[in-house]
Amino acid sequence: MERTLIIVKPDGVERGLVSEVLGRFEKRGLKLVALKLMQIDRSLAEQHYAEHQGKGFYEDLVGYITSGPVVVSVFEGPSVIDAVRKTVGATKPAEAEPGTIRGDLGITIGRNLVHASDSIESSKKEVKLFFGDGGLISYGRSLDEWIVKE
């Protein structure tokens, strides 16, 4: 099973959209295995956005993700990264399909509500960055047989 990190960004928390955003992943049948409300400090933000360091938008990214509380979660499921990315929608909300989180709830790229890992490699790095070596729960659900057929 794959795992992916999802962050409901400060605009999502401020707008009261945490349950709406996370609920979309649960409704798809993905399993929540970690969840926390936190304030990201600059050091953690810099590590998280290290790949963008030196780009013109880097300071805006760091400044924004540290501007208010966020909800950080990990979801698990088959092809979870692709499923989550489809559910989230395009980075630019104006280009996101209706029915996606950003297509339905977002307006601008600077306030696009949610971060989701874009690959298995980045997911592993991001999950470890936010939850360390522990912090994830492994459990079975009786409904998995109705959601996942391998």
Question: Are 25 and 75 in contact, with CB atoms under 8 Å apart?
Answer: yes
48 is catalytic: no
Catalytic residue, candidates 115, 116, 126, 127? 115
Question: Are 114 and 12 in contact, with CB atoms under 8 Å apart?
Answer: yes
Q: How far apart are CA 84 and CA 142, in angstroms?
A: 22
Q: How far apart are CA 58 and CA 148, in angstroms?
A: 39
Catalytic residues: 115
